[in-house]
């Protein structure tokens, strides 16, 4: 047995430099792209900084991840695909023509991502993008992306209030769930894409921080109460960069409502009966049981107070992530972050959290990755040594004392 951990980050981000998307667009969109790109103003500071090329510079990326002890990554989008006004899955299009162009932009990103993953064989699982406004086209793109080798699966957009789309519990999306279950494609729901626009008032950023993860958590109870997992037993849902400490309490809450409403619907005709009508037939088992069979958490920069909850979450459900190349990620202090949060976690459990679970969900070949980890991975002895003082210049919330108090 190696004395090093094989670390797979279940949450990293990448995308092409803006103009580099052009060759990946169908030619009929090239003139439109030139016009759009000439006036586009990037709103994201990290995509304007000198470090922006971490999103697309394959060699730099491999070198920095290896220096941080990471041998493979699940790659979520980060840069702006063609024809989008701000971020990739928000801001509803105003016209059918705009909707068509956005689809073209997402296909271009997915094609670029397939090439980016192919540049590091076996070390990247790319997460491809769709839109929910055309379910048939979404299914076609799922099949195209899976055939192109994007093993990271689907990035599920949110349905924020006011977006005009059916809620995620709707059976309108059954063809999407069916295709993902058939192809073994994980459905990933990343924080940030489900929040409604909040405007530009000074309080907006604080309110966004309070609400954004909750809006992302909604996908869990929508799919559970909507019966998606019962109708599609092969469906898997991954909730990424939403924290993990909330999961035990939410599962308790969902089980409570499930039991209460099912009992009311089969009972004496109380006023609550109508809220539970059909719930037992639609969902089957309690939500916590559904979680432990179908759901996972991409636990980005898992904090010290979350780690003791791992048994309640499910050690086989947790996949650690570094959030590279974001400022809130653990780079270049992943080893220190693991010591700070996970020093007392038994080796077998940490082996699963840091790589084994992600290998199973996303299809990474540990036979390929273990030899790389034997060269660059953090040692078991190193991570077992507690870190009491975080690095002075670390920017990850993992090290924020107010957010990382242990709860035993």
Give the model's pLDDT for residue 86. Answer: 67
The shares of helix, strand and coil residues in the chain, as percent rounded to the nearest 5, are 50, 10, 40
Q: Please choose, from the candidates 118, 123, 120, 46, the residue with its C-alpha nearest in 3D space to the C-alpha of residue 325.
A: 46
Give the model's pLDDT for residue 273. Answer: 85
Query: How many whole angstroms separate alpha carbon 89 and alpha carbon 120?
Result: 26
Residue 87 predicted with pLDDT over 60: no
Query: How many whole angstroms separate alpha carbon 111 and alpha carbon 247?
Result: 34
Q: Which residues of 143-161 are buried (b: 16+ CB within 10 A; e: fewer)?
A: eebbebebbbbbbbbbbbe
Q: Categorize the per-residue pLDDT at 275 as very low, low, confident or very high, splitting at 50, 70 and 90.
A: confident
Give the model's pLDDT for residue 337. Answer: 98
Q: Categorize the per-residue pLDDT at 301 as very low, low, confident or very high, splitting at 50, 70 and 90.
A: very high
Q: Categorize the per-residue pLDDT at 196 as very low, low, confident or very high, splitting at 50, 70 and 90.
A: confident
- Looking at residues 253-264, what average pLDDT do you find? 94
- Rounded percentage of the chain residues whose pLDDT exceeds 90: 79
Non-local CB neighbours of 269 within 8 Å, separated by 6+ positions = none
Q: Please choose, from the candidates 131, 88, 110, the residue with its C-alpha nearest in 3D space to the C-alpha of residue 21.
A: 110
- Packing angle of the helix pair 135-147, 96-118 (nearest 10 deg): 10
DSSP structure string for 296-351: EEEEET--TTTGGGHHHH-GGGEEEE--TTSTTS-TT-HHHHHHHHHTTS-HHHHH
| Region of 370 on the Ramachandran plot (φ > 0 left; ψ -120 to 50 alpha; else beta) | alpha
Give the DSSP H or E segment for 97.
Answer: helix 96-118
Both structure tokens of 346: 């038994």
Residue 402 predicted with pLDDT over 60: no
Q: Categorize the per-residue pLDDT at 267 as very low, low, confident or very high, splitting at 50, 70 and 90.
A: confident
Give the model's pLDDT for residue 393. Answer: 94
Digit-coded pLDDT (tens) for 375-386: 999 999 999 999
| Mean pLDDT estimate for the chain | 93
Give the model's pLDDT for residue 124. Answer: 98
Higher pLDDT, 142 or 210: 142
Give the model's pLDDT for residue 195. Answer: 85
Cβ(306)–Cβ(243) under 8 Å? yes
Residues in the chain, overall count: 408
What is the distance of C-alpha 266 from the center of its chain? 37
Q: Categorize the per-residue pLDDT at 162 as very low, low, confident or very high, splitting at 50, 70 and 90.
A: confident
Digit-coded pLDDT (tens) for 219-231: 999 999 999 999 9
Q: Categorize the per-residue pLDDT at 407 as very low, low, confident or very high, splitting at 50, 70 and 90.
A: very low
Digit-coded pLDDT (tens) for 8-30: 999 999 999 999 999 999 999 99
Give the model's pLDDT for residue 270. Answer: 79
Domains of the chain in sequence order: 7-403 (3.20.20.140)
Digit-coded pLDDT (tens) for 309-359: 999 999 999 999 999 999 999 999 999 999 999 999 999 999 999 999 999
Give the model's pLDDT for residue 49. Answer: 77
3-state secondary structure of 271: coil
Digit-coded pLDDT (tens) for 54-86: 999 999 999 999 999 999 999 999 988 999 886
- Rounded percentage of the chain residues whose pLDDT exceeds 70: 96
Give the model's pLDDT for residue 403. Answer: 52
Residue 89 predicted with pLDDT over 60: no
- Looking at residues 261-284, what average pLDDT do you find? 85
Give the model's pLDDT for residue 381. Answer: 98
Is the link from the previous residue into 367 a cis peptide, with omega within 30 of 0? no
Q: Please choose, from the candidates 214, 209, 208, the residue with its C-alpha nearest in 3D space to the C-alpha of residue 239.
A: 214
Give the model's pLDDT for residue 316. Answer: 98
Q: Categorize the per-residue pLDDT at 90 as very low, low, confident or very high, splitting at 50, 70 and 90.
A: low
Q: What are phi and psi of 129, to 5 degrees?
A: -110, 150
- Looking at residues 265-271, what average pLDDT do you find? 77
Digit-coded pLDDT (tens) for 117-151: 999 999 999 999 999 999 999 999 999 999 999 99
């Amino acid at each position: 047995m190696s004395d090093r951990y094989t670390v797979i980050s279940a949450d990293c981000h990448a995308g092409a430099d803006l103009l580099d998307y052009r060759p990946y667009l169908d030619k009929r969109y090239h003139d439109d792209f030139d016009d759009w790109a000439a006036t586009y103003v990037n709103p994201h500071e990290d995509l304007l900084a000198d470090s922006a090329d971490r999103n697309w510079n394959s060699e730099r990326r491999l070198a920095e991840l290896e220096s941080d002890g990471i041998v493979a990554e699940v790659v979520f989008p980060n840069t702006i695909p063609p024809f989008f006004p701000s971020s990739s899955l928000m801001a509803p299009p105003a016209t059918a023509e705009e909707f068509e162009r956005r689809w073209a932009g997402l296909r271009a990103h997915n094609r670029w991502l397939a090439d980016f993953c192919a540049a590091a064989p076996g070390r990247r699982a790319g997460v491809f993008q769709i839109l929910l406004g055309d379910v048939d086209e979404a299914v076609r793109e799922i099949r195209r992306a899976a055939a192109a080798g994007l093993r990271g699966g689907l990035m599920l957009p949110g349905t924020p209030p006011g977006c005009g789309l059916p809620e995620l519990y709707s059976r309108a999306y059954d063809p999407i769930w069916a295709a993902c279950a058939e192809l073994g494609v994980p459905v990933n729901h990343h924080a940030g894409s489900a929040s409604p626009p909040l405007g530009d008032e000074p309080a907006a950023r604080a309110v966004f921080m309070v609400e954004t993860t909750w809006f992302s958590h909604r996908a869990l109870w929508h799919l559970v109460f909507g019966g998606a997992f019962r109708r599609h037993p092969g469906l898997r849902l991954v909730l990424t960069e939403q924290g993990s400490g909330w999961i035990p309490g939410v599962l308790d809450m969902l089980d409570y409502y499930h039991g209460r409403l099912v009992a009311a619907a089969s009972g004496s005709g109380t006023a609550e009966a109508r809220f539970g009508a059909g719930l037992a037939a639609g969902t089957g088992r309690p939500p916590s049981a559904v979680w432990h069979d179908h759901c996972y958490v991409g636990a980005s920069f898992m904090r010290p107070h979350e780690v003791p909850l791992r048994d309640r979450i499910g050690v086989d459900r947790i996949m650690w992530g570094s959030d590279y190349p974001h400022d809130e990620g653990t780079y270049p202090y992943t080893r220190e972050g693991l010591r700070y949060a996970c020093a007392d976690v038994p080796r077998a459990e940490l082996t699963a959290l840091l790589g084994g679970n992600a290998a199973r969900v996303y299809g990474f070949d540990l036979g390929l990755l273990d030899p790389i980890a034997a060269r660059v991975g953090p040692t078991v002895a190193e991570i077992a040594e507690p870190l009491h003082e975080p690095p002075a210049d670390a920017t990850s919330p993992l090290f924020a004392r107010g957010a990382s108090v242990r709860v035993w």
